[in-house]
Structure 1
Amino acid sequence: MGTSNRERRAAKQRRRDERRGVPAGGPPPPDVGRGLPAETLRRLLRRAGVDLAAGREDALTELRHLLAEHLARRRAEILTACDEVVAGVAAPAAADLPDGLLAALDGSPHPVSTWADAAGVTTEDATLATVRLLAATTD
């Protein structure tokens, strides 16, 4: 008798796992989902802030295109990255930023998340406000 369908599928899965470096019989790798890794997202936010500060208005458009597919499904990760890049940033004296975000900078450990959740701000708007804040504080 030949091997069953189930046995063939299991063997195929073992070969895939072996190629991916998953130890035999070990737990499957964590599902990180689709989207940008956190470090890449933080770098993109910082770079967009520097570009915007340098007068490149198209930096926001480029960022929107890049994040378009990630915004809805990855809200928590994106807001966490926003919080991390503004950690330790003082509110700029004169900036065209939402008052709620500026107020959250004065003591909240998660200023962007706190402001976005309290004000019902979309992920895209919170991301763009973060980039504007970074641009306003770039020397």
Structure 2
Amino acid sequence: MATSRERRAAKQRRRDQRRGVPEGGPTAPRADVGRGLPAETLRRLLRRAGTDLAAGRDEALPELRHLLAEHLARRRAEILAACDDVAAGVELPPDAEAVPPALRAALDGSGHPVSSWADAAGVSTEDAALVTVRLLAAAAR
């Protein structure tokens, strides 16, 4: 029978494996490995989900929602920063109905369009990420 320490260690190894952390631990010290996905992975997931949604893969949003579920509460600032990064410089077509007007206005002048819109409108982290994906999909069409 495994001790509680061994069970916790096995659980942490499974989490690290899902997150892509090398088996011996991270090669460079990273303070946020135990807190969720790294910023570059978040940006990649958002871009990929936007591309998938633009290609007609409607299951891209539920898949993204599932991946973000465990990270939302503790990582709002990091997720919104990733949304801001991928939304920077996006050319939005005028007929993009999936993008709220307030976010559309923030895209024109804000350096942090998604986070400023989400904070001002009281939008949840998950909804902000999903609207970002819809924005990317609208821009890709």
TM-score by length of 1: 0.77
Higher helix share: 2
Based on CA coordinates, which of the two structures has the bigger radius of gyration? 1
Query: What is the percent sequence identity of the aligned residues?
Result: 73
State the AA in 2 paired with 1:125.
Answer: D
Deviation of 1:30 after TM superposition, in Å, equals 5.4
Pairwise CA RMSD of aligned residues?
A: 1.8
SS of residue in 2 equivalent to 1:42: helix
More off after superposition, 80-89 vs 30-39: 30-39
Runs of 4 or more consecutive aligned structure 1 residues displaced over 3 Å after TM superposition: 19-22
Find the counterpart in structure 2 of residue 90 from structure 1.
91
Runs of 5+ unmatched residues, structure 1: 1-18, 23-28
TM-score by length of 2: 0.76
SS of residue in 2 equivalent to 1:79: helix
Find the counterpart in structure 2 of residue 60 from structure 1.
61
Cα deviations by residue, 1:24-73 (Å, 9 ceiling, x for unpaired): xxxxx552141100001000000000000001110000000000010111
Residue 31 (str. 1) matches residue 55 (str. 2): no
SS of residue in 1 equivalent to 2:108: coil
Q: Which one of the candidate residues 117, 125, 139 is aligned to 1:137?
A: 139
User: Matched residue pairs, number?
Assistant: 115
SS of residue in 2 equivalent to 1:93: coil
